[in-house]
Amino acid sequence: MRQNHSTKFLKPHNNNKEMKTRFSSSTHQLLFIICCLLFASFCLPAQAQDQHTRREVKRIAARKGGKTITLNLVDNNDRGPLIMANCQLKPLGAYAATNLDGIATLENIPDGEWTIEVTYVGYETLTRKIVMQGEDVSLTLSMEPLTLELHNVEVVAKQSASGEATASVIGRQAIDHIQAFSLDDIMQLVPGADMKVTNLTSQSNVQIRTLVNDNTNAFGASIVVDGVPMSNNGAMTQGGFSSTAFVGTDTRQISADDIESVEVVRGIPSAEYGDLTSGLVVVHSKVGVTPWQVKAKVNPSGQNYSVGKGLHVGKWGTVNFNLDYAQAWGDPRQKTRSFDRYSGSIGWSVDPSRRFNMTTKVRFNLGKDWNGNDPDAIDDGTFSSAKNQTLSLTHNGKLSLGLPFSRSLTYTIGLSLNTSKSRQSSIVTNSTGLLPILTARETGYYNVPWMTSSYAASGGTTSTPGNVYVKVGNNFFVKVGPTRQSFKMGMDYHYDWNNGIGYYNDDEAHPLRPNSSGRPRSFKDIPGVHQFNAFAEDNFTWDINKVNKLKLQAGLRFTSFQMFKDEATYAFSPRFNASFTATRWLDIRAGFGLNSKTPGMDYLYPDKKYTDRVAANYMPQDNPAGQTIVYHTNVYEVERTKGLKNATNYKTEFGFDIKLPDGRRMSILAYYDKTPGGFSSATEYITYTASFYDTSAGLMPVAGGATLIDYSNPARIDTVFATTGRVGNNSVSVNKGIELDWDLGKIKPLQTSVYLTGAYMESKRWSKDMNSQNPTSYPARYSLANTVPFKIVYPSEMNSTTYRKFSTTLRLVTHIPALKMVASLAGQAIFYNYYHSEVPAMDPIAWIDTDLSYHEITSAMLADDSYTIKGVALKNQRKSGTENEPTKSPVTWLVSGRLTKELGRIGGFSFYANNLLYHEPWKSTSKSGTLTQQNSGSFSFGVEIYFNL
Amino acid sequence: MKISSLISAALSIAAVLGLSSCLSSDDQTQPITVYVTVQDPSGLTGVTGGQPVSLISTTGYSYTATTDGSGTATFTDVIPDIYNISTSWSITSDQYMAATGETVQHGTYVLSGALASQVLVADATRITLSTNCARKQSVLLSKVYYAGCKDNNNKNYLAGRFIELYNNSDEEVDIAGMYLCLMESGSTPAYVISTQTDYIYIKQVFQFPSEGNHILSPGEHIVITNSAVDHRVNASEDFDESAADFECKSNAANAPVNNPATPAMILVWTAFTGIPNMNLVQSGPCGIALIETDENPAEWEPVYADGKSTGTQQLKAPAKYVVDGVDILRYRTDGTVDVSTKRFYDYIDAGYTNITAVSGYTGEVVYRVVESTTDDGRAVLKDTNYSVDDWACTTDIEIGEYK
């Protein structure tokens, strides 16, 4: 209960020991392990190369007692071997990669009918049915390079199969067709997402299935690049909890040109993935042999150039590299913002032995934001800039053991070292003519300096989060009668730290933020965070008969965070996805799952809470020497947020996949996502006393000299309410809706495919934090003293905001293989856009006195119009009235057109125009007669040209 | 030439001629005649006739006419436009007593009426202008500097804002005990003046103390500020207020410098926690009311905006106690003033005034203009209860200066 909170201060917590051991012990050990594994990996290839011959293929195929599938993978054009291609046997999950001769072997395969799926960078995904009947199978498969000459091109997002996590898979051709600069642009292909203009000049995070920017949703959107999650647990913000601060991963830093495919999981993800709430974005970068590719993209607000190549280095496997540069400046008429991105990656994939395949990738990314005066404006020296550089490593290994309960062992190692430096130079506004410079870090009374005019200041924040990630997994499968089960299990460990110095001023006498949110805090002092997870999952398939089939994905994930510490959090997250093929044309799908996001360092270890108030303010104009300002600073050492839990998201889905003739399909899915414990500030009061001195008591003016203060003789002793700055799980968000993803087939005479995606979405948010406020209409003496007589408490969870939207996107994709050309026209209509802020009538339920005692307010008190609390009329605290009228925006639509044309084998070009018809009408909402421009700023165009050398 | 081509050409010529025949010189804008009939104020009879009535358009056209014996002013050759219509004249207390039959104290009574934004496009338009009568006040609001300015680093500076009062009478006036009130200033008014006429909503109430310069001689002014210091040090465009008469003091963390030598205004009520000094809004609206009453304003009812149950509460003040008021409205981006956000009834201020910047920080001061000068050189400020005429805006005026 609130009344139990003591008014005493906590002693500062000494983290020094923890600081010293934080990085040195665990991180160094992990780095050592990583180095050993890498060293071993480099040594192995030399021992193994001689074994890679075609003769061995035959030997493997003829192994005694084994039922082996041997695949020989070749390019359909030059018949050359394709090395390091991924071969997966579905639904068993057996996996192999082709060796230097293009050969892959899948061993100990039980009898049955299976589907082999082969993927390779730059080639069309190949699927083939295989029937095993007690004999080894040897196949030569030829893959087609991706080209617009093929009859199948995918320039829209593709829905995942029933029985798996609901996801949109976006391939390379789709990424090329939308001319994406970064992952942010790719996200617009997801059902329900708005078509938008490329804008690299502001940070962008992933918001899944929500209509409102939600910090927990963004913080809990996991982006996994080549098996390693981009952790944001070490990111820190200055000051206390902010619901508007940027959280999550900045998608601008992921260059689109190095991506092979993206899978956006909106539904219940596999138990293999964790530390998330709203969803998951899985990014696969390019691995394998590719031609030299040089790309240039230009539009009025930015440009992007890249060069990439995947080459075969003999017995050393394949090496890929990609260099990318992007520049953006937002509005070209006003160059007040700019963004530069330099990124590069080098990857190496090799089979050290027949059973061992590994891929290593090192990435570098440097993003530079700048925001300042237009070159034509007066340069007053003000600007803000941010430099964000990341060096990361991902290493994935797969060991095919072929044992009954360990078909393959996988491991992943990730390391990410980031440095974010923001700098700001500004003139600090001093509109009141008196700006105290508050720098106290301990509780007490301080004579403070002050400024009477605005002043130039500069400083910044340096944050250096780092992350180590290690994961091991095991896969095996079992076939019993008509059922097949593919199991995977594993565990992973994350460690996040931040060695940044945090916020700093170049000149402490002229601070950038001369108030309580500007107190420096070294991020080095914050303990690193450990996370250990384990998971197990069964992918169960039951072919009941020729038609009916049941697929079930059942998993459980265990998450532990800061294990064995007071602030530790634990979570079990069961997850289920199921589908039942009821008829040949109908799959019924359903799912339920829990996702859990750990708080991260920022929420778990909030900054100290500083509360400053004037203790004396004496500014005689005839005696400058006597001018004095004294502040009382109260420093509350926020406890490590004990009781803070993971933000847990509950997802429920139900839908139908209808398969129609000629490959057409209609998918309708209803979802309900609830996050009842999202991260937010938690109201928790403390009170303390602070004295005030004036010339009636305490302050003793001295003619021509400094004013003396008798601290033992205050004119007034104020009891002050302050909040502790705690972070809690008080934000509640519910997202529900219906998603449509329809492939309406091809109009053959026009060679045009029709796709319709869309969503009806509703996002509702409210807070379950204690709803307390200052009372209204209390005597003016409290305002003069800047205190409140008490806090008044209203029912919680009554105020809410609701957003609703129904939008559809119709895409017409005309593909003419003979011309090597694909053109698409996308029309997006937002039929319904609704916002409602509900503020119902409320009566207070309690009041909190200055001794923090909690007093309930009864209905009898409320009925008594003359009832007062400490001289304040209770009737004035009742809130009666009408609801705010909902705002409904008018129907808006826009059309965009895109064209991609290949020029033989040497390259091609693309062109797009967004809001092709320049439809930017002025319309008013249902609530306001004011006309506002719709689709404002949505008109844009751009061109891409690329060469394959 | 083929016959079909000839037919086609003939039809085209005929079409052009046909369309041309639709045009007439009568479609050009024609001057119009407007009749404005001034009504007697409620309770007074026979006071109209011979009064000046003015039409002033938002685009700069201006006309004046005098009412005839029936109270009607005739304007001829008026360019169609949107006009503010106003009239104002004064009568003596003897004339007032004759018109009402009441016995009143000696003084001057002002009769005024105004209609804002009237679309006058039709010829022979007839307008009826109702009027109000109010006793001409001795103490008037004479300047409001709410816009703030830019400081020497071109940053916003608000500490030097002030309100000035002026004794417009030929008698000494004691203002101790009177109340200086700031009107509620939401972007949407908290109350609609057409739905009630008895109350105004105010956000802050300060009382003049009985210390300091509370007795004003004829033609004397006083200055009330949040910070009685010389602000020119920080902002060269600002004012030296070190000699200000009263200061609204604050010990809040973001308060400006208070001068211990300046007497404090007494804070009676404030709508805002932690804002015990004047909350002038630099962009407007920023209406000010001077109130004289024996009631205790702190006991007036605090209310939310009409139809709301949350937000800021204002004090519901009886309008009858308003001695003087000036409606200061926000200047919009389209260069107009939204008169629909007026807070004062016509009998307090039938007009409004404003600065000519959307966001403020321009150093503009709104001030009451001089109507006449007495033989001893004392300025008599214009007080017709129609601030569009009574007030002006400038960046070139000093404290205590009248023009």
Q: Could you report the per-residue pLDDT of A661-698, keeping only the tens digit for each?
A: 888 999 999 999 999 999 998 999 999 999 999 999 99
Measured between CA atoms, the residue of chain B closest to residue A928 is B188
Q: Is B334 on the interface with A (CB under 8 A)?
A: no
Q: Give the gap in angstroms from C-alpha A780 to the nearest C-alpha of chain B.
A: 5
Name the nearest CA neighbour of B222 among B400, B401, B402, B403.
B400
User: What is the spatial distance between Cα A822 and Cα A571, in angstroms, rounded to a whole number?
Assistant: 48
**Is the Cβ pair B273, A455 closer than 8 Å?**
no
Instruction: Give CA A699 to chain center in angstroms.
Output: 54
Smallest Cβ–Cβ distance between B227 and the set A429, A433, A620 belongs to A433
Asked which of A757-761, A856-860, B226-230, B300-304 is least confident by mean pLDDT, the reply is B300-304
Q: Could you identify the residue written with the tokens 């009344």?
A: A3
Residues 54-113 of chain B whose Cβ lies under 8 A from any Cβ of chain A: none
Superfamily of domain A2-24+225-293+305-606+641-684+724-948: TonB-dependent receptor, beta-barrel domain (2.40.170.20)
Q: Is B269 on the interface with A (CB under 8 A)?
A: yes
Chain B residue numbers with beta carbons less than 8 Å from the beta carbon of A872 are none
Measured between CA atoms, the residue of chain A closest to residue B300 is A777
- State the burial class of residue A825 (Cβ atoms within 10 Å of its Cβ: 0-12, 13-18, 19+): middle
Q: Is B231 on the interface with A (CB under 8 A)?
A: yes
Name the nearest CA neighbour of A575 among A558, A560, A599.
A558
Q: Give the gap in angstroms from C-alpha B6 to the nearest C-alpha of chain A.
A: 40
DSSP per residue over A818-841, as a string? GGTEEEEEEEEEEEEEEEEEE---
Name the nearest CA neighbour of A897 among A877, A911, A878, A883.
A911
Measured between CA atoms, the residue of chain A closest to residue B271 is A777
A interface mutation test: which of B233, B310, B334 has the most A CBs within 10 A? B310
**Is the Cβ pair A621, B242 closer than 8 Å?**
yes
Q: Are the beta carbons of B167 and B139 closer than 8 angstroms?
A: yes
Smallest Cβ–Cβ distance between B269 and the set A431, A453, A780 belongs to A780
Smallest Cβ–Cβ distance between B252 and the set A431, A786, A841 belongs to A786
**Is the Cβ pair B298, A776 closer than 8 Å?**
no
Q: What is the mean pLDDT of residues A310-315?
A: 86
Residue A5 has pLDDT above 50, yes or no: no
**In chain A, pLDDT over 90 holds for what percent of residues?**
49
Residue A861 has pLDDT above 80, yes or no: yes
C-alpha distances (whole Å) from A379 to each of A337, A372, A425, A457, B236 are: 15, 9, 12, 15, 21
**Is the Cβ pair B253, A882 closer than 8 Å?**
no
Q: Dihedrals φ, ψ of B121, to 5°?
A: -125, -20
Q: Give the gap in angstroms from C-alpha A436 to the nearest C-alpha of chain B.
A: 8
What's the pLDDT score for residue B20? 41
Asked which of A265-269, A559-563, B85-89 is least confident by mean pLDDT, the reply is B85-89
pLDDT band at B25 (very low <50, low <70, confident <90, very high): very low
User: What is the spatial distance between Cα B40 and Cα B45, in angstroms, rounded to a whole number?
Assistant: 6
> In chain B, which residues fall in CATH 2.60.40.10?
29-135
Q: Give the gap in angstroms from C-alpha A455 to the nearest C-alpha of chain B.
A: 8
Smallest Cβ–Cβ distance between B310 and the set A617, A619, A839 belongs to A839
DSSP per residue over B144-193, as a string? EE-S-EE-TTS-EE-TT-EEEEEE-SSS-EE-TT-EEEEEP--SS-SS-T
- Containing H/E element for A722? strand A716-723
Residue A435 has pLDDT above 50, yes or no: yes
C-alpha distances (whole Å) from A257 to each of A345, A940, B51 are: 11, 21, 80
**Per-domain boundaries in chain A:** 2-24+225-293+305-606+641-684+724-948
Strand partners, A542: A483, A550
Number of Cβ atoms within 10 Å of the Cβ of B126? 11
Identify the DSSP state of A531: E
Residue A92 has pLDDT above 80, yes or no: no
User: What is the spatial distance between Cα A616 and Cα A445, in angstroms, rounded to a whole number?
Assistant: 10
Single-letter amino acid code for the residue at A176? D
Q: Give the gap in angstroms from C-alpha A474 to the nearest C-alpha of chain B.
A: 58
Asked which of A41-55, A257-271, B292-306 is least confident by mean pLDDT, the reply is A41-55
**In chain A, pLDDT over 70 holds for what percent of residues?**
91
Smallest Cβ–Cβ distance between A433 and the set B231, B253, B302 belongs to B231
Q: Are the beta carbons of A254 and A283 closer than 8 angstroms?
A: yes
User: What is the spatial distance between Cα A877 and Cα A647, in angstroms, rounded to a whole number?
Assistant: 34
Residue A192 has pLDDT above 70, yes or no: yes
Q: Give the gap in angstroms from C-alpha B253 to the nearest C-alpha of chain A.
A: 6
Measured between CA atoms, the residue of chain B closest to residue A381 is B153
Residues whose CB falls within 8 Å of the CB of residue A770, separated by 6 or more in sequence, listed in order:
A2, A683, A793, A796
User: What is the spatial distance between Cα A874 and Cα A789, in angstroms, rounded to a whole number?
Assistant: 13
CATH code 2.60.120.10 for B29-135: no
Which of the pair, B1 or B141, is modelled with greater confidence? B141
B interface mutation test: which of A425, A434, A614, A868 has the most B CBs within 10 A? A434
Q: Are the beta carbons of B133 and B114 closer than 8 angstroms?
A: no
3-state percent breakdown (helix, strand, coil) of chain B, nearest 5 = 10, 35, 55
**Is the Cβ pair B270, A380 closer than 8 Å?**
no
Chain A residue numbers with beta carbons less than 8 Å from the beta carbon of B267 are 780, 783-784
- In the Cβ-directed half-sphere of B159, how many Cα atoms lie within 13 Å? 33
**Is the Cβ pair A780, B260 closer than 8 Å?**
no
pLDDT tens, position by position, B171-201: 889 999 999 999 999 888 888 877 777 899 9
* Residue burial A408-425, b: 16+ Cβ < 10 Å; e: rest: bbbbbbbbbebbbbbbbb
Q: Could you identify the residue written with the tokens 């125009």?
A: A913
**Is the Cβ pair B257, A614 closer than 8 Å?**
no
Q: Give the gap in angstroms from C-alpha B94 to the nearest C-alpha of chain A.
A: 44
* Own/partner pairs, A709-717, CB within 8 angstroms, 24+ separation: A709/A616, A709/A628, A709/A630, A711/A445, A715/A691, A716/A691, A716/A692, A716/A785, A717/A689, A717/A690, A717/A691, A717/A692
* Residues across chain A: 949
Instruction: Give the CA-trace dihedral at A215, A220, A225, A230, to 10 degrees.
Output: 70
Measured between CA atoms, the residue of chain B closest to residue A783 is B274
ipTM over 0.85: no
* Residues across chain B: 403
pLDDT tens, position by position, A199-217: 888 888 888 888 888 888 8
Q: What is the mean pLDDT of residues A244-257?
A: 83
pLDDT tens, position by position, A568-627: 999 999 999 999 999 999 999 999 999 999 998 888 888 888 999 999 999 998 899 999
Number of Cβ atoms within 10 Å of the Cβ of A733? 23
User: What is the spatial distance between Cα A620 and Cα B175, in angstroms, rounded to a whole number?
Assistant: 26
**By a Cβ cutoff of 8 Å, what residues of chain A touch chain B?**
380, 427, 429-434, 436, 452-456, 515, 612-614, 617-622, 692, 695, 774, 776-777, 779-780, 782-786, 788, 839, 841-842, 876, 879-882
Number of Cβ atoms within 10 Å of the Cβ of B372? 9
Beta pairing, strands A86-90 & A94-97: antiparallel
Identify the DSSP state of B94: H
Residue B157 has pLDDT above 80, yes or no: yes
Measured between CA atoms, the residue of chain A closest to residue B260 is A620
What's the pLDDT score for residue A61? 37
Q: Give the gap in angstroms from C-alpha A838 to the nearest C-alpha of chain B.
A: 11
Chain A residue numbers with beta carbons less than 8 Å from the beta carbon of B313 are 776-777, 876
